[in-house]
């Protein structure tokens, strides 16, 4: 199970929701375990997961008929499936279907509920949820669909709940932490692979190819690949180009793929040949800032305090003019989950949060330097999910 | 330029829009040429492109301050940039900035307009568009932001325009066709790479790794990789598993990455060793259906007729019970652009459309067979964007 069920129930109670309706891909997967491919790779295809509060019936999934194979193949923990739309999948009359194919056939031959909104209306009515207050994730359902839903169920109070889903997702379950650890470590291996090809005249694209190939081989998919060299390392979102490495270059990685749907976002710095004194001093400063911030992570710590620790340390340790909007953020199915490590945050760390802690520094005409580790908040303090150190590497 | 400017102007006139506001990643990139990374890899980050009708002022881009490096580095054709939010990027006082870095610095130091909606309000007001009818893409702007926009500009009539953007995008510009051709042919090369590793005991994941590695090396990014072998080939959305190839297996690819933001979606079938008579007959039938449908593609042809040609041909050529909801769709920045080749479509082909024409057949307990080519509608008929034949391949 990916979802933090006790937290979902507690937040539904706090919000007086009788159910949550997930509509965006992250929330559908989180709530039901079902990865609705078309929804992840396009905007428009609709899949929903309905998750009632205790006493309001069973959870269910609403998906297109053409996706019943995905549901059967993934066999998510939520077993009640509603389908909509016309799609043909034949059966070989001479074959004995295995369990998976039999399930595809069974699911494909339940009642066609017409369209996603009609199916959602059926599901809410059948559970008596049509006179209740429902939290609906407003990010995945297009406004005209939501309008149709409100029209069909005028007594239901639909409340935007994207932010409530984010709050539930903020505290990770053990399975989520396992995936986040694997995802972060695949990114580390991918950086290592990129650095094995780094030498003079190699391009940023060459580094990116080596990076992504390892991500792919390790079972993840490319998502974020800011790889900048030399002065390009100062571009926060540097996309790999044909620029060729020259001795003395900084190589900045701010990278991470998606492993079993969970994101990575880590950063490391290398130099081609010996780093300058300025690179060494600044890298030491930002790394000290990140490490002190991580040391301070424990349940009850204030995010704003963590921010201040990172900034003060970096300033004291060699980067006196350091300024920054945040020094980290949660991570999960989305690249930015709560909390945010900002100076104005009112958030407090809780056990089970997983954060990317980072202290990037960008200076045009010089370089960009950045370290970023993924760290879980344990009962007694930080639990690093990383396998490598954030030291400056010389290749 | 990616955007079809004459068509955009014509559809704005038809809809009586004084401007279009793009909010979803595909439409922002299409309208302005600016690829807003964070918006492509997450839901939530806001970037907009405003494209006025003739006589209503210059187009512009609204983006986060932290993305000014991307804007400068990409140097999109739209030059007026509005930024929002706090983000720090320093300048080395001893360096002479190159043109790109000088532009990053310049853009980062224009006025901070606060937040994306405030910036959009400023832009519309400055052009006198705040008393006009505006088409706004409702897929990329969260409902609470849209509500705030309507509140700030009560005299503006905002009309949902996702579908209008789709209609503009339906007729490709030459640059779009170039990218779509490259994207389709990278998918073909990736299939060829996967087939070079196909032999008994190799897994579906091994095929997928070889597939994605080639996609990466060719400069594209993985998106769609339905790769099913043996009975799993019958799963329409088959995701690669550890299933090992056995002689006689069908290998079905329904695949395509993203090259310079443009999608591919093609399908090919191979068998490990000699195919059965049934595989040969059915593959011949669906391939004949696809090829006849493609032959009939020309400006003025009705999509419903193309559908019927594909179905009748496949039925006559060996698959008498063939049923299907559609036999193809447009492709572009999105995996499904207009038109759709369905029996009930009222759409008519126009010069410059690019379609994926496909005749998939799924039979549980047997196999899935599918061919899918990408084809542009030329003045005098179909222009294939493929480099390889859709013949059944034996490996």
Percent of chain B with pLDDT over 90: 99
Chain B, 41 to 60: residues with Cβ < 8 Å from chain A are 41-44
Give the model's confidence band at A127: pLDDT under 50 very low, under 70 low, under 90 confident, else very high. very high
In this prediction, residues A117-127 reach a mean pLDDT of: 98
List the single best residue of A140, A224, A237 to mutate versus B (max B Cβ within 10 A). Answer: A237
Contact B283, B269 (CB under 8 A): yes
How confident is the model at residue A231, as a pLDDT?
98
A92 touches chain B (CB under 8 A): yes
Average per-residue pLDDT for chain A: 98
Per-residue model confidence as pLDDT tens digits over A35-76: 999 999 999 999 999 999 999 999 999 999 999 999 999 999
Subunit contact A362:B89, Cβ cutoff 8 A? yes
Which tokens sit at A340? 């945010």
Q: Whole-angstrom Cα distance, residue B155 to residue B58?
A: 21
Compare all CA atoms of chain B with the CA of A361 and give the residue at the minimum distance: B89
- Chain A residues near residue B212 by CB distance under 8 angstroms: 216, 221
In this prediction, residues B277-295 reach a mean pLDDT of: 98
How confident is the model at residue A45, as a pLDDT?
96
How confident is the model at residue B68, as a pLDDT?
98
- CATH 3.40.350.10 spans which residues of chain B? 5-169
Nearest CB partner across the interface for B67, out of A224, A237, A324 = A237
State the smallest CA–CA distance between residue B126 and chain A in angstroms: 28
Which tokens sit at B3? 């955007």
Subunit contact B239:A101, Cβ cutoff 8 A? no
- Chain A residues near residue B239 by CB distance under 8 angstroms: 37, 70, 73
Per-residue model confidence as pLDDT tens digits over B35-93: 999 999 999 999 999 999 999 999 999 999 999 999 999 999 999 999 999 999 999 99
- Chain B residues near residue A190 by CB distance under 8 angstroms: none
* Nearest Cα residue to B123 out of B87, B78, B163: B78
Reported ipTM = 0.97
Helix then strand count (H, E) for chain B reads: 12, 19
| DSSP output for B167-196 | HHHTS--HHHHHHHHHHHHHHHHHHHHHHH
Average per-residue pLDDT for chain B: 98
A158 touches chain B (CB under 8 A): no
Contacts of A172 (CB under 8 A, 6+ apart): A4, A180, A332, A352, A353, A354, A376
Subunit contact A70:B361, Cβ cutoff 8 A? no
Is the predicted pLDDT of residue A168 greater than 90, yes or no? yes
- Cα distances from A193 to residues A387, B175, B201, in angstroms, run 15, 34, 27
In this prediction, residues A24-38 reach a mean pLDDT of: 98
B157 touches chain A (CB under 8 A): no
State the smallest CA–CA distance between residue B55 and chain A in angstroms: 30
State the smallest CA–CA distance between residue B210 and chain A in angstroms: 9
Measured in whole angstroms, the distance separating CA A27 from the mean position of its chain's CA atoms is 11
- Chain A residues near residue B85 by CB distance under 8 angstroms: 325
Per-residue model confidence as pLDDT tens digits over A308-357: 999 999 999 999 999 999 999 999 999 999 999 999 999 999 999 999 99
- Cα distances from B391 to residues A133, B269, B315, B372, in angstroms, run 56, 8, 18, 11
At A18, give phi and psi (nearest 5°): -85, -15
In this prediction, residues A289-303 reach a mean pLDDT of: 98
Subunit contact A364:B237, Cβ cutoff 8 A? no
State the smallest CA–CA distance between residue A100 and chain B in angstroms: 10
Domain A174-394 has what CATH class? Answer: alpha beta
A343 touches chain B (CB under 8 A): no
Nearest CB partner across the interface for A101, out of B41, B213, B365 = B365
Other beta carbons within 10 Å of A32: 31
Chain B, 243 to 302: residues with Cβ < 8 Å from chain A are none
Per-residue model confidence as pLDDT tens digits over B349-362: 999 999 999 999 99
Give the model's confidence band at B1: pLDDT under 50 very low, under 70 low, under 90 confident, else very high. confident
Give the model's confidence band at A130: pLDDT under 50 very low, under 70 low, under 90 confident, else very high. very high
Which tokens sit at B337? 């652009």
List the single best residue of B278, B364, B367, B368 to mutate versus A (max A Cβ within 10 A). Answer: B364
User: What is the CATH code for B5-169?
Assistant: 3.40.350.10
List the single best residue of B64, B362, B363 to mutate versus A (max A Cβ within 10 A). Answer: B362
Nearest CB partner across the interface for A239, out of B73, B97, B334 = B73
DSSP lists the bridge partners of residue B295 as none
Subunit contact A86:B41, Cβ cutoff 8 A? no
Per-residue model confidence as pLDDT tens digits over B134-153: 999 999 999 899 999 999 99
- Chain A residues near residue B209 by CB distance under 8 angstroms: 216-217
- CATH 3.90.230.10 spans which residues of chain A? 174-394
């Amino acid at each position: 199970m990916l979802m933090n069920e006790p937290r979902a129930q507690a937040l539904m109670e706090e919000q007086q929701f009788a159910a949550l309706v997930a509509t965006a891909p992250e929330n559908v997967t989180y709530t039901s375990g079902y990865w609705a491919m078309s929804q992840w790779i396009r905007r428009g295809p609709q899949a929903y997961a309905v998750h009632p509060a205790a006493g309001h019936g069973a959870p269910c999934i609403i998906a297109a008929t053409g996706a019943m194979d995905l549901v059967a193949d993934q066999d998510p923990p939520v077993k009640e499936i509603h389908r909509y739309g016309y799609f043909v999948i034949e059966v070989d009359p001479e074959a004995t279907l295995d369990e998976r194919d039999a399930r595809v056939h069974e699911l494909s031959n339940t009642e066609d509920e017409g369209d996603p909104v009609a199916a959602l209306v059926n599901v809410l009515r059948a559970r008596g949820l049509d006179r209740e207050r429902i939290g609906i994730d407003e990010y995945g359902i297009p406004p005209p669909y939501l309008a149709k839903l409100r029209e069909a169920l005028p007594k239901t109070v639909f409340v935007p709940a994207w932010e409530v889903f984010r709050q539930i997702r903020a505290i990770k379950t053990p399975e989520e932490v396992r995936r986040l650890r694997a995802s972060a470590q695949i990114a580390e291996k991918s950086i290592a692979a990129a650095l094995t090809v780094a030498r003079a005249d190699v391009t940023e694209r060459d580094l990116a190819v080596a990076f992504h190939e390892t991500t792919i081989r390790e079972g993840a998919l490319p998502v974020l690949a800011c790889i900048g060299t030399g002065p390009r390392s100062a571009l926060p979102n540097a996309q790999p180009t044909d620029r060729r490495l020259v001795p003395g270059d900084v190589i900045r990685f701010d990278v991470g793929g998606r492993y079993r749907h969970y994101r990575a976002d880590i950063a490391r710095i290398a130099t081609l040949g010996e780093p300058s004194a300025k690179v060494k001093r600044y890298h030491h400063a930002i790394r000290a800032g990140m490490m002190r911030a991580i040391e301070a992570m424990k349940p009850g710590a204030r995010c704003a305090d963590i921010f201040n620790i990172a900034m003060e340390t970096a300033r004291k340790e060699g980067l006196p003019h350091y300024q920054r909007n945040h020094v980290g953020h949660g991570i999960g199915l989305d690249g930015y989950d709560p909390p945010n490590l900002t100076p104005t945050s009112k958030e407090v760390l809780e056990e089970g949060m997983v954060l990317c802690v980072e202290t990037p520094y960008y200076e045009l005409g010089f370089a960009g330097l950045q370290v970023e580790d993924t760290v879980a908040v344990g009962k007694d303090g930080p639990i690093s999910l990383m396998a490598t150190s954030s030291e400056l590497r010389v290749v």
